A and B are shown apart, each in its own frame.
Chain A
Amino acid sequence: MVQTHHCEDHETVGENKEKRPKFFINDHVDILIEILKRLDGRSLCVAASVCRLWCTIARNDSLWENLCFRHVSPPPSSVRSVVLALGGYKRLYTGCVRPVRSRLGRMRKASWAGDEVQLSLSLFCVDYYERLGGSNSNGRLVGESSPSSLMFLCKPVNV
């Protein structure tokens, strides 16, 4: 039924029965997710601007979880609850894992992959803690800018 609906967008009603139905990826969300799961971070962000459906899917945290732990043996299940509590996988990836990986890429050793994620998690936690401070401030941190512990990971010119 969905197929005919989409066919109507492209052809006149009269030609429906003659043409072969087109394959439209948005009809197969499960395949779409499998494909998007394998993208790198930048491509995933680009994919999020394609259409509303892709945007919704790309916001799904499990995709980003995959990205974080792609080169690492699957982590224990307790990691997920911790990461979600601290702000989610997308934030973990964009804030910590990606900069850590790119900085360490120069001198990366294969055995470090797990440690990179560990370090990213720790930095992520400190960042969460600082965000807590920013929102709970009773004027105590007046003048403090918002979370800054990850600033050292930002390069001065970052596209």
Chain B
Amino acid sequence: MVKKKSDVYSIEIYGTKDLEKTEMGEEEKYKDLKGNKKKKKTEDLKKELELDDHKLSTSELEEKYGTSINKGLSSARAAEILARDGPNSLTPPKATPEIVKFLKQMVGGFSILLWIGAVFSWISFGIQFAQGAESPFDNLYLGVVLALVVILTGIFAYYQEAKSTNIMASFSKMIPQQALVIRDAEKKELPADQLVVGDIVEIKGGDRIPADIRLIFTQGCKVDNSSLTGESEPQSRSCDFTHDNPLETRNIAFYSTTCVEGTATGIVINTGDRTIIGRIASLASGVGNEKTPIAIEIEHFVYLVAGVAVSIGVLFFIISVSMRYKILDSIIFLIGIIVANVPEGLLATVTVSLSLTAKRMAKKNCLVKNLEAVETLGSTSIICSDKTGTLTQNRMTVAHLWFDNQIYSADTSEDQTTQPFDQSSPSWTALSKIVTLCNRAEFRPGQENLPIMKRVVVGDASETALLKFAEVILGDVMNIRARNKKVAEIPFNSTNKFQLSIHETDDPNDKRFLLVMKGAPERILERCSTIMINGKEEPLDNEKAEAFQTAYMELGGMGERVLGFCHLYLPENEFPDTYPFDTDSMNFPTSNLCFVGLLSMIDPPRSTVPDAVSKCRSAGIKVIMVTGDHPITAKAIAKSVGIISATSETVEDIAKRLNIPVEQVNRREATAAVVNGMELKDMSLQQLDDILCNHSEIVFARTSPQQKLIIVEGCQRQGAVVAVTGDGVNDSPALKKADIGIAMGIAGSDAAKNAADMVLLDDNFASIVTGVEEGRLIFDNLKKTIAYTLTKNIAELCPFLIYIIASIPMPIGTITILFIDLGTDIIPSVALAYEKAESDIMNRRPRNKRKDRLVNEQLAVYSYLQIGIMQSVGAFVTYFTVYAEQGFLPSTLLGVRVDWENNAINDFEDSYGQEWTKYQRMYLQWTGYTAFFVSITIQQVADLIIRKTRRNSIFQQGLFRNKVVWVGIFSQIGIALILTYGLGHVTALNFTPLRFQYWFVAVPFAILIWVYDEVRKLFIRRYPGSWWDKNMYY
């Protein structure tokens, strides 16, 4: 059995070796890249190493910075330094100048083609004008109109962009921070950005550290370095030089971290961009912004359409020249072909669709900074999520209790009002008393009406958790404490690892004092000789100690922070009422206590997260947890939210189960992996790739912010579209590097928000999932919009081609085309953005950005060569009908172009022998334009309806469910009516009033389009994977 297994194992090794060999070349390339990057990073870190202020003594510091600890800097000196160093704030990332953004809109996309068209128009105007032709101004106007189209659509797109960026601008407004500074021997409150190197600042609990500070005086100072390291455990700070590495030493506090408790005074040693955080933030600006997937898709689509336009244009230019058309005429044809081929309104439509989705997402708490990021979330295949605050509630909560030799689970949901576990045991009564009394945390006053979980508490995270827990179960904790008056207290400190207090009891008959103690379980147990079981004190024998150990291990294994609780009723005779308790000499017993129970706490997952994670999973998105937290905690949370599913095991789990060393485990069997930051440090890129590739469930624990960047790059090497969540300044490089960076709206720092593409207003992971859904929907709907828009381009193009080849009178004018592209078609194409999903889009894999293009061959071919051609045929039937009923039978029309357009021929004979003046012919030609226009519009209605779905029948989707489509249809017909009958007498627009019946000539073709598309979809549904499916599904 074992042997067989090793066989399999060896084969797999062989397999990977093979793989390695083939990828060697590329691997080397990567190494090189990586090496370069590392060099850059180390250069950055070198500056860090130069920092030696932590090693200097106070007097050396005073000398170095020319300051005095008692008097501080003089105002004049401070002003001098401020002028030299600049304000103490992070430089915001360089924004693209508005004019550049605007010009980009003017030349981006199809604009270049249209500019070319406009320039050609003006050139031909110039030539004709010089030759003294009869109506050269037509070309001048056409050029002006084309230029106007470009400018107006450019302005529109720019406006849309600007609008969505403005939402963010309001976000980044910071509340000016104040700092307490000693200057001129006086304490002054100054805005933090006025701080300079050498300033003496005072900080207290709750303050944000205003700059990098070398501490010179501390009192119980603790800082939360999570924005720097990601580790949320507060770290104590003192004046002592404890470590060579400035990042590790205790006597430096860093900019943007917070002081949790205590007070401190220090000298400012770095300000603004020169602070550690500033350097990390500037690292972010060095990370290139990736092109968004949708931008790539749109570019691809623009190239495609522009390619078609230019090649058809050039082809027909050559044809018309070789057919002995004049060069000037050929150029005019070329302009017509370009205008017909370019969907002028489409990019504006896409922008509107994206901003509609952005608005919808904002309502669901996803604020999108960059419009294109709307779709990026939809194609995301890996989400690298933070743990704290995103997956979890970001507050410690009591999760488990152990007393009477039994583990009880507590409710950890966001809005708990009761606790369901069994509270009848007298042990619980004793435990609850310790929890209540041995606790220094207090509610801020004036919050009686708030739900308990929402109240603000003064105290550290664990004590807060215990206070709230007690408040939920026992009610008014403050009152209980008042009734059990505290007579002495030893607060928690890291050497004792316990907290102790002595109380009078609220039982008037019991004159004993109650000593309560909590702390690290093993330390507490050491001090106990008895243990309470069902309210009775029993001697603590080995068996009971074993039971304690098991419970402790179990709770610890769940990644929870465990506290032990014990008490002792002090005998009345030894400790009378008046006994003077002294906490310094500890004139009371602190051993032989009675152990009561354990409580364990965790920052519990948000209740919506497990569902969201499973949705991600069914949507084919890999969720990777990246956290600075402890691996065990990280793994526990990952398990409870489903990032590591119940059945999957890590290599370590398998080793433990099979009882073999970790090295012997077949790594391919483990679907999950928990990677420690320390391991990651020593890994080669190849190894990281291996992990990312071979494990579907990954947790990175104890990672540094820089490692986050490496992880993101690793994911991107796999070809994944990566979303990264983050809140700290330290996350900004990863946020920037990610395909879509998601910053937290509540907990997030401004730097993170600046670097991100999206802001989660509620810091909730579940909101990302709704974002993914919207992103996928908009991708599908953009496909529909583009398919809809491209179709009529053929119906606009064919007239030109046939005009050139068959020399018939011009069926449709350039201006008329613009009226379709920018008039009747706009609202319907936007309406498709409101279309509901055809099937559960969250049940399919994210799109492969290489293969699943926005505009694929099938879409283009189906729109151009099938529906487009149908539309053209329908429109030509109308065209020929109009001419025939006026006297020009189709046969007469062929080859008449030269005479038809000759201004001198004013007795042009039709099929009935009637003779037409030039102007009469022109008027008829405009009637033809109008008829062609109306036919396209009517058929576009059918096109709009068929584009509602790509696979399902229209009747499955519901013809009337999307009301906006109907608004589109009515607007389309309304605009056509206004143009035809309202503006039909404005000759410059080339519209004429049209006989009513001509509106219906193309109706059979419209019906044909609908029926044909229903048949197409039917076959696609019936025969998935068939030839039809492959060629017809777009």
Instruction: Tell me if chain B binds chain A.
Output: no
- The chain B residues found within 8 Å of chain A, CB to CB, are none
- The chain A residues found within 8 Å of chain B, CB to CB, are none
